Amino acid sequence: MCGHPGGRAVELSDLRSRAEISDALAALAWAQDRKDWAHVRAAYLPDATYVHPGGRLEGADAIADRTSRALDLLDSSQHLVGSIVIEVCGSHATSLAQFQAVHVREDAVGGELYTIAGSYTDRWTLTEGGWRIAHREQQYYWRTGNREVVVPTDLGDKS
């Protein structure tokens, strides 16, 4: 039960790792909203995988590309991440976080807002450059608003 509060004693290095991972989750959310695709790419290992309700992505480049295609069409977005639980085991960790993402596109027919709430379950690896996501699984709990806000007209991808 490595790093679990009910398992072995928590080491100071575990607390530091948990803070670093929590910061990395927040920084990734900020990067998405600021459309900083280099930061989004760097948050993942080069061979990372990302499973989302619309499919599966393989590799940091594919993850950053799909993220940019989905968010570049928006006027703005706000990804809030919270209720974070992190378990550290040496140079590996897992995290569970809830999210709420508000998407705004002012020219969308039928309304300018679309909100998605759900969770991210991540597996992390500690690298020389810090903690990176090796695998992310995204789950939706609920959605509300105008779905057309997030539908790219040039992708034919409605996931």
Give strand ranges (E) for the chain: 44-52, 55-58, 76-89, 92-104, 113-127, 130-145
Mean pLDDT by 10 residues, the chain (159 residues): 58 92 98 98 98 96 96 97 96 98 96 98 97 98 96 55
Identify the pLDDT of residue 153.
66
Identify the pLDDT of residue 157.
44
DSSP H helical ranges for the chain: 12-34, 37-42, 60-71
Enter the CATH code of domain 12-150: 3.10.450.50
Q: What is the C-alpha separation between 126 and 45, in angstroms, rounded? A: 10
pTM reported for the whole predicted model: 0.89
Identify the pLDDT of residue 154.
57
